[in-house]
Amino acid sequence: MSNTVSEKPDPHDFLGIDTLLSGEETLLRDTVRRYVDKEISPNIAEWWDEGRIPHRELAADFGELGMLGMHLEGYGCAGTTATQYGLACLELEAGDSGIRSFVSVQGSLVMFPIWRFGSEEQKQTWLPRMAKGEVIGCFGLTEADSGSDPASMRTRARQDGSDWVINGSKMWITNGSIADVAIVWAHTDQGVRGFIVPTDTPGFSAPEIKMKASLRASVTSELILENVRVPDDFVLPEVASMRGPLSCLNEARFGIAFGAMGAARSCYESALAYAKDREQFGSPIGSFQLTQRKLVEMMVAVQRGTLLALHLGRRKDEEKLSPEQVSFGKFDNVRNALDVARTARSILGANGITLEYPVFRHMANLETVYTYEGTHEIHTLVMGQAITGFPAFN
Ligand SMILES: Cc1cc2nc3c(=O)[nH]c(=O)nc-3n(C[C@H](O)[C@H](O)[C@H](O)COP(=O)(O)OP(=O)(O)OC[C@H]3O[C@@H](n4cnc5c(N)ncnc54)[C@H](O)[C@@H]3O)c2cc1C
């Protein structure tokens, strides 16, 4: 008896990956997908073009959908699995990497450190309001001269009685100018510490970085801290080393391994539809061998990357996922998503350079995704060290 089936694979789920999802996972995935189709996709080209997003409305919507800090337990957070969080990132990034960034920063980079390293009072104060989207956060680690090597940061905090005084500046901070609160990482005499800084604290300012050609549906800012004074109970008490910020980045990178495949899927689907419809030389361009090769390469990359992300999600839910394995996911899925986006752009011809189609926007966004949360090269070195035992960072 044959153990294969004659049914043709679904061009949008060639390997039948959907069957690997539980009922709850499918439900959540479909809910986020519907939201993106209804609220994000019809508007995103305009937001991207204008370089703005309706951040308060989006935050409230994401709060209502339970997507902010969704994989955290308690304090008004949804307490989903890591895989469910990943699937939400994938669907959001099928909309736009900037929209996924908004949710990643809030959940993985701001709520997570408070949840993981904060005092009970800090958790009660911030997390429920952040989960509802009433309070927007940002994460300040990178500086103009400290990117891949964040330990070289120059921002410093010194104790003054029962207060701390912070001086320095941060660069490339997502949500900086629209945030109500910033997690600021600074050197202190006790090591690197995280400070919860309300953005209306005197001495704090966050000018927006303009003229971006990538991630335009996301606010990116500089943070300037001039004698910013916060009380001792605004310091995250449970960490005093680079482990603090790095563990947050690990959470966000996990979401990116999924998210990148959302952007890639959107590009593939757009190119597939276009190739079936667009005719040249009297035939649909999808009937040409060269185009079919491109479509197949894209489809295979999306399916393979989605399987990889799912595998990482399952490992994370079993508490077996190492940071090096997260690097694997970020490294491989983002570079493949970029390849898919570039290939899709070529299929769309001249239409591929407009914002009428999602492809160029995804392609430009993915240049940021390739760089932030650890550049492609840094993840190469992380895995290089894991397999050789030799650190090659300097
Ligand atoms: C749109 C956007 C949003 C961002 N949001 C945030 C945020 O919310 N919070 C935050 O803290 N940061 C944020 N970042 C900053 C981001 O994390 C950094 O840009 C990233 O870490 C890289 O730092 P860099 O840009 O200074 O590049 P550099 O570190 O200067 O790197 C430049 C090049 O050199 C390579 N390189 C560096 N060191 C090595 C090495 N040892 N070996 C080989 N190659 C190396 C890099 O891979 C890269 O190709 C954001 C960036 C962007 C673009």
Mean pLDDT of 284-302: 98
How many angstroms separate the alpha carbon of residue 278 from the centre of ligand 1? Answer: 39
Q: Best of 148, 249, 394 to mutate for ligand 1, by most ligand atoms within 8 A of CB?
A: 148
Measure 145 CA to ligand 1 centroid, in angstroms: 10
Distance from the alpha carbon of residue 147 to the mean position of ligand 1, in angstroms: 4
pLDDT of amino acid 89: 98
Q: Quick one: DSSP state of residue 96?
A: -
Extended beta strands in the chain, E state? 137-140, 156-160, 163-174, 181-188, 191-198, 204-205, 220-231, 279-280, 283-284
Q: pLDDT of 14-23, one tens digit each?
A: 999 999 999 9
pLDDT given at position 288: 98
Which two structure tokens, joined as six digits, stand for 74?
């308690």
Which residue among 139, 214, 375 is best mutated to probe the pocket of ligand 1, counting the most ligand atoms within 8 A of its Cβ? 375
CA dist 236 and 122 (Å) reads: 8
Where in the sequence numbering do the catalytic residues fall?
A: 373
- Give the pLDDT band (50/70/90) at residue 3: confident
- Residue 310 CA to residue 306 CA, distance in Å, equals 6
Spell out which residues line ligand 1, taking CB within 6 angstroms: 105, 139-142, 147-148, 172-174, 215, 220, 368, 371-372, 375, 377-378, 381, 393-394
Can you tell me the distance from the alpha carbon of 40 to that of 45, in angstroms, rounded to the nearest whole number? Answer: 9
When the pLDDT of each residue in the chain is averaged and rounded to a whole number, the result is: 97
**20 token code pair:** 């690997």
282 vs 173: CA distance, rounded Å: 50
Ligand 1 atom at shortest distance from the alpha carbon of 245: 11
Across the range 330-336, mean pLDDT stands at 98
Which of 27-31, 33-37, 245-249, 274-278 comes out lowest in average pLDDT? Answer: 245-249
pLDDT exceeding 70 applies to what percent of the chain?
A: 99
As to burial, measured by CB atoms within 10 angstroms (0-12 exposed, 13-18 middle, 19+ buried), residue 350 is exposed
| C-alpha–C-alpha distance, residues 10 and 344, integer Å | 19
The identity of residue 166, as a single letter, is I
Predicted TM-score (pTM) of the model is 0.97
Q: What is the pLDDT of residues 345-382, one digit of tens each?
A: 999 999 999 999 999 999 999 999 999 999 999 999 99
Residue to mutate, 372, 381, 383, ligand 1, most ligand atoms under 8 Å from C-beta: 372
| Ligand 1 center to 150 CA (angstroms) | 9
pLDDT at 5: 85
User: How many Å apart are CA 159 and CA 165, to the nearest integer?
Assistant: 6
Q: Which residue has the tokens 């994989």?
A: 71
Q: Amino acid identity of 22?
A: S
What integer is the mean pLDDT of 7-30? 97
The pLDDT of residue 343: 98
Query: Strand 137-140 vs strand 181-188: parallel, antiparallel, or unpaired?
Result: parallel
User: Do residues 119 and 64 touch, judged by C-beta distance below 8 A?
Assistant: no
